[in-house]
Amino acid sequence: MDVGALVFDVFGTVVDWRAGVAREAARLLGPGVDAAAFADAWRARYQPSMDRVRAGERPFVPLDVLHRESLPAALAEVGIDGVGMDGVGMDGVADDVAAELVLAWHRLDPWPDAVPGLTRLRSRHVLAPLSNGGVRLSVDLARRGGLPWDLVLGAEVVGRYKPDPEVYDSAPRLLALPPSRVLMVAAHVEDLAEARARGLRTAYVHRPLEFGGDPAPPETDPGADLSVSSLEELAAALGC
Amino acid sequence: MDVGALVFDVFGTVVDWRAGVAREAARLLGPGVDAAAFADAWRARYQPSMDRVRAGERPFVPLDVLHRESLPAALAEVGIDGVGMDGVGMDGVADDVAAELVLAWHRLDPWPDAVPGLTRLRSRHVLAPLSNGGVRLSVDLARRGGLPWDLVLGAEVVGRYKPDPEVYDSAPRLLALPPSRVLMVAAHVEDLAEARARGLRTAYVHRPLEFGGDPAPPETDPGADLSVSSLEELAAALGC
């Protein structure tokens, strides 16, 4: 493959959103809450939360706004009713705690292979996130975890959410490369299928623990150009 | 100043466009051409080349396209007439040489203080270019020179050229900061005045050799929050 740049899905592919959100939830909500169940409940609202933007029924807003909107329902699933009450307690979460919870998504740690793999890949290729997370979120994750991006691409740069084609198309356009020289890397076969439909090359990363093991993702993606189990394996496959 | 992020003009402020373009011109056009005069002639067409985009008379195109369009007139000023002739010679420049000349703007070296200054600043602040150069151009300059940007902002991200307000506004918007916590750094008082009009803080960098010493830029900008003579001095002023 004659690759000029690699673009990456981030949540689940580069960082472990489940452990990070659960860690912040335990810190902010206390030991009485099932933090992993809360993380799963919030994440379950991730794709649906973007649907009205994708359908053009509301203007684009960054993912932080959608996370804040879906927070009360996720809290309710673990027995916490309401946001914006007078104080913090089992019956409600104060506005400042809600704001901190939204920032949990900016404080996720990379999978252990991510930084060594990306560092090797960057020696020969331009690297960027192509996430539905906002620009500031991507910057915060990179500074926290040491992710060596050359630039930040993604949903907020174009004002659309994946899988809208404009997001995938923005990568070759802004990198001044033909789509066939841009490799999209993700742990989700749907994301890769949409990228392929726009002419990008694709690499699947198997992340068995993204959802805590259940559901278990497929070990490989037969539709992808490459399937690997870590970003270090991807670096090796590309000769880096 | 409570600064959260710094955004930088690039040509002249961070990199020495004149020496870099002259070096590439000497390499590609041979010793018979006054390479510094050619660099100055090309740069003189830089601001006018964006006017029709700014006026809405043509759609946004990246700076590489404008550089290619203004190349023949710049060549003519140093006695080379025409692009796209059969070969390379005193009477014309082949298409592939023209394309290489456009890439000269991707191959500019940082001023000596730029990388040490930026490295110190990045320890505490988010850093991004906010240039009229394209995204790929900014990435190429960063990879060549080791500029430690967190992300790439600028004209192509918003499809407008400075001094259109959308370019300045994009920095606080995408960085999720109030404009008063974004510091625009430039060697050009006009750029800083426009940034200030959008609520950004401003720092002027004195670059006496940007135009080879003639014209000489002012030593300070009384309208700016800070005036410095290097990015290392800026880092010291911000306590980095």
The tens-digit pLDDT sequence of chain B (240 residues) is 899 999 999 999 999 999 999 999 999 999 999 999 999 999 999 999 999 999 999 999 999 999 999 999 999 999 998 776 554 444 578 899 999 999 999 999 999 999 999 999 999 999 999 999 999 999 999 999 999 999 999 999 999 999 999 999 999 999 999 999 999 999 999 999 999 999 999 999 999 999 999 899 999 999 999 999 999 999 999 999
DSSP string for residues in B3-62:
-SEEEE--BTTTB-HHHHHHHHHHHHH-TTS-HHHHHHHHHHTHHHHTHHHHTTSS----
Task: Give the domains, in start order, of chain B with CATH numbers.
Answer: 5-16+108-237 (3.40.50.1000), 17-106 (1.10.150.240)
User: How many Cα atoms are found within 13 Å in the side-chain-facing hemisphere of A13?
Assistant: 26
**Residue that the structure tokens 């950004």 belong to:** B200
**Which chain A residues are closer than 8 Å to B142 by Cβ?**
150
Best mutation target among B123, B157, B175, B181 (most A Cβ atoms within 10 Å) is: B157
Q: Is residue B31 classed exposed, middle or buried when 0-12, 13-18 and 19+ CB atoms within 10 A define those classes?
A: exposed
Band of pLDDT at residue A91, cut at 50, 70 and 90 = low
Highest mean pLDDT among A29-33, A177-181, B80-84: A177-181
**Which chain B residues are closer than 8 Å to A150 by Cβ?**
139, 142-143, 149, 152
Closest residue in A to B128 (Cα) is A151
pLDDT in tens, A93-117: 899 999 999 999 999 999 999 999 9
**C-alpha triplet B92, B96, B102: angle, nearest 5°:** 90
A134 vs B176: CB contact, 8 Å cut-off? yes
Band of pLDDT at residue A92, cut at 50, 70 and 90 = confident
| CA trace torsion A140, A141, A143, A148 (10° rounding) | -130
* A165/chain B closest Cα distance in angstroms: 17
Q: Measure CB to CB from residue A151 to each of B64, B135, B176 and give the nearest one.
A: B135
Q: Which tokens hold the place of A185?
A: 């890397």
Query: Rounded CA gap, B50 and A218, in Å?
Result: 50
Element (H, E) at B224: none
pLDDT value of residue A84: 63
Helices and strands of chain B, counted as H and E runs: 12, 6
Q: How is the beta sheet containing A153-154 ordered, strand by strand?
A: A153-154, A126-131, A5-8, A182-186, A201-205, A226-228
Contact (CB, 8 A) for B78 and B38: yes
Check residues A207 and A85 and name the one with the higher pLDDT: A207
pLDDT value of residue B68: 96
Does A233 score more than 70 pLDDT? yes
Query: Rounded CA gap, A210 and A162, in Å?
Result: 19
Query: Rounded CA gap, B149 and B128, in Å?
Result: 5
* B184/chain A closest Cα distance in angstroms: 18
Contact (CB, 8 A) for A158 and A170: yes
pLDDT value of residue B84: 63
**Which chain A residues are closer than 8 Å to B62 by Cβ?**
176
Which residue type sits at B3? Answer: V
Does A30 score more than 50 pLDDT? yes
**Which chain A residues are closer than 8 Å to B170 by Cβ?**
none
Q: Measure CB to CB from residue A136 to each of B64, B139, B174 and give the nearest one.
A: B174
Q: Measure CB to CB from residue A135 to each of B135, B156, B174 and give the nearest one.
A: B174
Interchain CB contact of B151 with A (< 8 Å): yes
Q: Measure CB to CB from residue B151 to each of A64, A151, A176 and give the nearest one.
A: A151
pLDDT value of residue B81: 82
Contact (CB, 8 A) for B167 and B161: yes
B151 vs A149: CB contact, 8 Å cut-off? yes
| Bridge partner list, B5 | B126, B182
Band of pLDDT at residue A27, cut at 50, 70 and 90 = very high
Contacts of B7 (CB under 8 A, 6+ apart): B127, B128, B129, B130, B153, B171, B182, B183, B184, B185, B200
B62 vs A176: CB contact, 8 Å cut-off? yes
Contacts of B124 (CB under 8 A, 6+ apart): B238, B239, B240
* B143/chain A closest Cα distance in angstroms: 8
Contacts of A184 (CB under 8 A, 6+ apart): A6, A7, A8, A9, A130, A168, A171, A191, A192, A195, A196, A200, A201, A202, A203
Query: Rounded CA gap, A179 and A36, in Å?
Result: 38
Closest residue in B to A174 (Cα) is B135
Q: For chain A, give the secondary structure using H, E and C.
A: CCCCEEEECCECCCECHHHHHHHHHHHHHCCCCCHHHHHHHHHHCHHHHCHHHHCCCCCCCCHHHHHHHHHHHHHHHCCCCCECCCCCECCEECHHHHHHHHHHHHCCCECCCHHHHHHHHHCCCEEEEEECCCHHHHHHHHHHHCCCCCCCEEHHHHCCCCCCHHHHHHHHHHHCCCHHHEEEEECCHHHHHHHHHCCCEEEEECCCCCCCCCCCCCCCCCCCCEEECCHHHHHHHCCC
Instruction: Please confirm whether the linkage preceding A163 is cis (ω < 30° from 0).
Output: yes
pLDDT value of residue B91: 56
pLDDT value of residue A89: 46
pLDDT value of residue B90: 44
